[in-house]
Structure 1
Amino acid sequence: MSNIVKFENVENRVLEIRGHKVILDSDLAELYGVETKRINEAVKNNPERFPDNYVKELTLNEKKQLVENFDRFNRLKHSTALPKAFTEKGFYMLATTCPVKCAAPRRGFHRGPEKPTGCTDHHCHH
């Protein structure tokens, strides 16, 4: 897994929500090759690093609008969780809170309790 996320891959996922340019937790997870829950765990485990102007939880109506207007969000249609939207500051904070090397690797549908090797970041909870 590469630690580099190309700008082009980020740029086409940026949305404008509530007057802010944001990227959703599920898109960040896909970019970094981790599960969305890993992104949200980093936020939950470090609330002091993610104030409201860094991460915003979408409303049910906002989620519905995304599903209706963007094919890539069809997977959210039946999810009970509300997506989180990261501002640019939130995006950078996420990168410093739990680096990609600490994120659990994707292993298809057969995910086990395997701990990634080489995790030395004390903010990472693996």
Structure 2
Amino acid sequence: MELQPIQSKIYEIRGQRVMLDRDLAELYQVTTSALNQAVKRNSKRFPPDFMFQLTNQEFANLKSQIVTSSWGGIRKMPFAFTEQGVAMLSGLLNSDIAINANIAIMRAFVAMRNYITTATTVTAELAEIRAKLALLERADAENAEAVSDLSEDIRKELDNIYQAIAALSVKVPQARKPANPIGFKRSEKEE
């Protein structure tokens, strides 16, 4: 049996992962009433943390989540079996089909638990990465602001230097004396 179809029939109700009696009956290839009768005959094996009956509100919520369901004319609210309840069912139904289905169901519960654990770990790692990224972004913004301030200060200093050079270049031509020519002077007699 494949795990994916079984996993799609595991719901979270009252904070627990459960399977409904009709889905279990389908997997065990028995009628829902036969499954529920076997449970009633062995009610001591199914305390409330192993099995519970859905309330009208829980059932309405479940139906709204499963758009393509064909719930038909259900007279009683379905029973929900936790992982322990499903394990307890394995002792009641002894056909080969039921045994193989139960093994597959247990594997599906374990696979879902592993997936949720992995997803939780990944979520925690993502949160840590996001926090580090936020710190880096803040540091980057602070650095950019500091560089901007520094650039502005440098621009002002360069402007002051250019102004000083310009002022000096205006004064320098006025202060120059006529240059003495380089070379020998000829006397007027030689001419």
Q: Output one character per residue of 1:67-116: Cα deviation in whole Å (capped at 9) or x when no partner.
A: 2221354315x31211000000000110111223598xxxxxxxxxxxxx
In 2, Cα distance between the equivalents of 1:98 and 1:20?
23
Say if 2:29 and 2:97, in contact at 8 Å, map to a contact too: no
Residues 11 and 18 in structure 2, CA contact (< 8 A), matched pair in contact too? yes
How far residue 38 of structure 1 moved from its aligned partner, in angstroms, is 1.3
Structure 2 equivalent of residue 40 of structure 1: 36
CA distance in 1: counterparts of 2:58 and 2:36, whole angstroms: 18
Find the counterpart in structure 2 of residue 79 from structure 1: 74
Percent identity over the alignment?
A: 37
Contact kept, 8 Å, 2:17 with 2:83, in 1: the verdict is yes
Alignment-mate amino acid for residue 96 of structure 1: G
Pick aligned residue for 1:12 from 8, 21, 28: 8
Conserved in 1, the CA contact under 8 Å of 2:51 and 2:79? yes
Going from structure 1 to structure 2, the CA distance change for 1:29 and 1:71 (only over 3 Å counts) comes to farther
Give the letter aligned to residue 63 of structure 1. Answer: F
- Larger relative contact order (CA 8 Å, sep ≥ 6): 1
Evaluate the alpha carbon distance shift between residue 52 and residue 72 of structure 1 in structure 2; reply closer, same or farther with a 3 A threshold: farther
The aligned amino acid for 1:60 is: N
Q: Distance in 1 between matches of 2:91 and 2:14?
A: 25
In structure 2, what is the Cα distance between the partners aligned to 1:25 and 1:95?
13
Q: Which residue of 1 aligns with 2:48?
A: 52
Q: 1:19 to 1:85 in 2, by over 3 A?
A: same
TM, length-normalised to structure 1:
0.69
Unmatched segments (≥5 aa) in structure 1: 104-126
Offset, 1:65: 1.5
Q: Which amino acid aligns with 1:56?
A: F
Query: Which one has the largest radius of gyration?
Result: 2
Aligned residue for 2:90?
95
The answer as to whether partners of 1:67 and 1:74 remain within 8 angstroms in 2 is no
- Could you tell me which residue of structure 1 aligns to residue 24 of structure 2? 28
Q: Which has the higher helix share?
A: 2
Q: TM-score by structure 2 length?
A: 0.47
Distance 1:47 1:102, change over 3 A: farther
- Distance (whole Å) between structure 2 residues aligned to residue 32 and residue 64 of structure 1: 25
Residue 12 of structure 1 and its aligned partner are, at CA, apart by 1.7
Letter in 2 for 1:49: R
SS in 1 for 2:37: helix
